Amino acid sequence: MKNTIHHRGVIEKIADHSIYVKIVQQSACAGCHAKSMCMAADSKEKIVEIPDSSGLYHVDDAVLVCGQSSMGMQAVLLAFVLPLLLVVIAIIFGTYNRWSEGISALAGLLILLPYYGVLYLLRDKLKKRFIFTLKKTEN
């Protein structure tokens, strides 16, 4: 079980062989008793779409959303590491070609448009790669 990620959630809706689960994503210190004093804690509600046609789950069921930790690493790579590398490479390319700093920085930011556009176009393929499973909980 070390290689899995678990989040507690509640089923929001069921439609078209998919279950939509609301999970609360919290920062590391969101559970601290002093969070109201330090203002560093935050939490966000997320809706996760999980393919399922078993009919075992119902709206408002408490569930556990499970996924492989390697999926988390791949998501970080696609969402943060590769874009950062693209920006740095574009800035280095601009500097090497003696572009002004402003143009190099703009090129670094503009390179993100096609990158995230490609990710958007590949979203269905990525959905098949990032698969979560559900488990019922007692709560």
Show me where the domains of the chain are located. Answer: 4-136
- Residue at token pair 């330090």: 38
- For 16, the token pair is 């078209």
- Over the stretch 86-129, which tens digit does the pLDDT of each residue have? 999 999 999 999 999 999 999 999 999 999 999 999 998 998 88
Task: Render pLDDT for 19-73 as a digit per residue (tens, 0 to 9).
Answer: 999 988 766 565 666 555 555 556 678 888 888 878 889 898 999 988 888 888 8
